[in-house]
């Protein structure tokens, strides 16, 4: 090798050393003192050993600092590149908090914008690890160039539904960069160190924390106790997702017999419909090996969402949970369901709905919160789903809840019903009060109110039973087949096999318009 190359190689060695040092040893120690891994440690903990190939390491901050003090800015505070996770190609970036507290610089914004575009064009998942104080201030134009930031946000939006986009928030994220985690398909937050806030005064205790965004805002999908746990959650989540919207989720041999039947399914449903049960008990008995990957578990818990496998095939599960508020629908549960089933449809992941709901909650409070508008989103979204759709009605399927969970004329591919199920425009008890109010008033005077009420209730429950409704194939309330609860798993697996090559198209149009 000629000596003329030595000088260039020495510069390259210095550049790489500087890049590996990040913001310097002192800042690295501060980072670790906060219980956080460094940007490079986070990437190393996520990707397959030796698979990370860095891009943009030579980039630095080119704008004058706000206070005139020069600061090192290797990679302009972002470590990014291509890598593999469990053998699958991904593009990944990590904001380096040791470099000016992870504040997003102008060149970093342009770097990230291009990385998002590359991920979309390469058709591979995009993984972001954010630990940032927000936009970086500078003497020129006041802050990070809005062209770069706008380009980044636009690309995040444009590749929605093309590739899975997952964000780990392992520190602060404020200002305009706070839109990045929310524009992603899934957000995992470290409950000890993460903080997500757009701006303005905080009036609610704990606002911006992982708990706040899990239980209150609904913007967080998973909460981890450490950086390491967050990375493991991401790996598990990625197992259920396809590379892009043109590919299928991985088919895995789970070793669980597709024909397996669980006798205990017959004992979960209480004899009295006034009593509740936990839908997780049913889910865990019908999915492969009892493994259910739940999302937004503490947000609107009366609606359960998550991923599972049936005979090795991935499906998204949406289920009413009678244990919480009788499985009602209201604005939060509607939004939770709407976002999840739209993700499933974008990536052609089958949707399984498990139905036991007393419908949408009535009353002035809920009307003021827009219960109709939020429910209308579900009608709009379900009507546009072209992914495989399977409905299993377990017990109650009342009112609008029946429709948004995939009733027969919302066009699910298969709709099954347990023998215990009831279809009704509203709860039978409500119908008794509305229709037989005079008879009940008279019975109250005569002292036999309970007897008369139960008499009419029994008649209506028989009318609303699947054994009556199921006689009419063309009626609004119907099923394709009444099934033994023990057959549920096998029916779902066969339905997924039957719909594996399904094709369903929308009416020709430029786009639909979802309710506000």
Sheet with 186-190, edge to edge strand ranges: 53-55, 78-85, 88-95, 126-130, 165-169, 186-190, 222-224
Same domain, 150 and 277: no
Q: CB atoms < 10 A from the CB of 71, how many?
A: 13
Residue where a domain stops, chosen among 239, 254, 285: 239
What is the predicted pLDDT for the residue at 247?
A: 97
CATH number of the domain residue 365 falls in: 3.90.226.10
| Mean pLDDT of all residues in 360-379 | 93
Does residue 280 contact residue 306 with C-beta atoms inside 8 Å? Answer: no
Write out the two tokens for 76.
């302009």
Q: State whether 270 and 209 are in the same domain.
A: no
Strand partners, 123: none
DSSP per-residue string spanning 454-499: HHHHHHHHHHHBHHHHTT-TTSSS--SEE--GGGHHHHHHHHHHHT
The arithmetic mean of pLDDT across residues 266-291, rounded, is 94
For residue 264, pLDDT over 90 is answered with yes
* 472 shares a domain with 405: yes
Residue 252 lies in a domain: no
Pair (209, 272) in one structural domain: no
Pair 221, 273 in one domain: no
Report which DSSP code applies to 142. Answer: S
Q: Are residues 70 and 103 in the same domain?
A: yes
**Does a structural domain hold residue 446?**
no
> In the prediction, which pLDDT does 335 show?
96
Tell me how far apart the alpha carbons of residues 380 and 384 are, in angstroms, rounded to a whole number: 7
pLDDT computed for residue 439 by the predictor: 86
Q: Pick the last residue of a domain from 239, 273, 296.
A: 239
Answer yes or no: do 223 and 284 share one domain. Answer: no
Q: Which of 101-105, 173-177, 427-431, 481-485 has the lowest mean pLDDT?
A: 427-431
Whether residues 276 and 198 fall in one domain: no
pLDDT digits (tens, 9 = 90+) for 164-203: 999 999 999 999 999 999 999 999 999 999 999 998 888 8
β 195-197/172-174 pair status: parallel
Looking at the structure of the chain, the number of domains it has is 2
Residue 307 confidence (pLDDT): 98
| Mean pLDDT value of segment 109-126 | 97
Domain identity same for 145 and 224: yes
Question: Can you read off the two tokens belonging to residue 234?
Answer: 């991401």
Highest mean pLDDT (candidates 4-8, 67-71, 276-280): 276-280
- Residue 246, in any domain of the structure: no
pLDDT tens for each residue of 462-514: 877 877 777 777 766 688 999 999 999 999 999 999 999 999 888 899 989 99
Domain of residue 317, residue span? 263-421+465-498
* Residue 30 CB neighbours (<10 A): 15
Within-domain flag for 383: yes
| Contact (CB, 8 A) for 293 and 306 | yes
The mean per-residue pLDDT over the stretch 258-273 comes to: 93
Q: Report how many helices (DSSP H) and strands (DSSP E) the chain contains, helices first.
A: 18, 17
CA 298 vs CA 52, 146, 294, 361, 485: distances in Å: 35, 36, 10, 19, 28
In a domain, 226, yes or no: yes
**pLDDT attached to residue 181:** 97
Q: Is residue 475 helix, strand or coil? A: coil
Same domain, 406 and 494: yes
What mean pLDDT, rounded, does the chain reach? 92
Q: What's the mean pLDDT in 216-237?
A: 97
The answer as to whether 257 is a domain residue is no
Mean local confidence (pLDDT), 337-355: 98
Residue 284, both tokens: 């865990």
**Residue 212 placed within a domain:** yes
Residue partners of 113: CB distance under 8 A and separation at least 6: 148, 151, 152, 154, 155
Helix or strand or coil: residue 126? strand
* Listed residue (259, 260, 258, 278) closest to 269, CA to CA: 278
Do both 107 and 57 map to the same domain?
A: yes
pLDDT at 139: 47
pLDDT of residue 142: 46
Query: Is 97 within the bounds of a domain?
Result: yes
Q: Which percentage of the chain shows pLDDT scores above 70?
A: 96
CB–CB of 65/96 below 8 Å? no
Q: Are residues 178 and 301 in the same domain?
A: no
Helix residue ranges, H only, 92-167 = 106-122, 146-158
């Amino acid at each position: 090798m000629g000596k003329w190359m030595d000088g260039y190689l020495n510069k390259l060695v210095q550049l790489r050393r500087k890049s590996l040092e990040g913001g310097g040893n002192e800042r690295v120690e501060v980072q670790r003192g906060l219980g956080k891994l460094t940007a490079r440690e986070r990437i190393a903990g996520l990707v397959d050993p030796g698979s990370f190939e860095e891009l943009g390491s030579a980039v630095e901050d080119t704008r004058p600092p706000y206070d005139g003090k020069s600061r090192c800015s290797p990679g302009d505070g972002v470590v990014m590149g291509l890598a593999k996770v469990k053998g699958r190609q991904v593009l990944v970036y990590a904001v380096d908090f040791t470099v000016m507290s992870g504040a997003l610089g102008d060149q970093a914004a342009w770097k990230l914008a291009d990385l998002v575009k590359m991920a979309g064009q390469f058709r591979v998942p995009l993984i972001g690890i954010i630990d940032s104080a927000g936009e970086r201030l500078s003497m020129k134009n006041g802050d990070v160039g809005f062209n770069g930031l706008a380009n980044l946000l636009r690309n995040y939006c444009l590749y929605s539904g093309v590739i899975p986009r997952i964000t780990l928030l392992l520190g602060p994220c404020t200002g305009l960069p706070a839109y990045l985690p929310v524009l992603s398909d899934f957000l995992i937050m470290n409950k000890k160190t993460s903080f997500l806030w757009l701006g303005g005064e905080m009036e609610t205790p704990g606002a911006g924390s992982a708990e706040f965004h899990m239980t209150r805002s609904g913007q967080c999908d998973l909460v981890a106790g450490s950086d390491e746990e967050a990375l493991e959650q991401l790996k598990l989540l990625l197992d259920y997702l396809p590379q892009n919207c043109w590919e299928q989720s991985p088919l895995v041999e789970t070793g669980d017999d597709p024909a397996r039947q669980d006798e205990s399914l017959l004992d979960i449903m209480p004899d009295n419909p006034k009593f509740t049960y936990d839908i997780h008990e049913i889910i865990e008995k019908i999915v492969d090996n009892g493994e259910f990957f739940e999302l937004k578990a503490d947000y609107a818990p009366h609606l359960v969402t998550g991923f599972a496998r049936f005979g090795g095939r991935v499906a998204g599960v949406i289920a009413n949970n009678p244990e919480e508020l009788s499985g009602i629908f209201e604005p939060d549960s509607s939004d939770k369901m709407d976002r999840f089933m739209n993700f499933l449809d974008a990536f052609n992941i089958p949707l399984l709905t498990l139905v036991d709901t007393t419908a949408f909650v009535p009353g002035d409070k809920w009307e003021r919160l827009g219960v109709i508008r939020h429910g209308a989103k579900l009608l709009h979204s379900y009507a546009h789903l072209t992914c495989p759709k399977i409905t299993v009605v377990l017990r109650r399927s009342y009112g609008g809840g029946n429709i948004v969970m995939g009733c027969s004329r919302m066009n699910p591919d298969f709709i099954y019903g347990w023998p215990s199920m009831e279809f009704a425009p509203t709860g039978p008890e409500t119908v008794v009060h509305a229709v037989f109010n005079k008879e009940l008033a008279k019975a109250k005077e005569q002292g036999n109110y309970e007897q008369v009420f139960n008499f009419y209730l029994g008649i209506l429950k028989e009318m609303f039973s699947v054994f009556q409704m199921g006689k009419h194939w063309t009626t609004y309330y119907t099923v394709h087949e009444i099934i033994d609860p023990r057959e549920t798993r096998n029916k779902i697996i066969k339905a997924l096999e039957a719909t594996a090559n399904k094709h369903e198209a929308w009416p020709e149009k430029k786009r639909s318009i979802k309710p506000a």
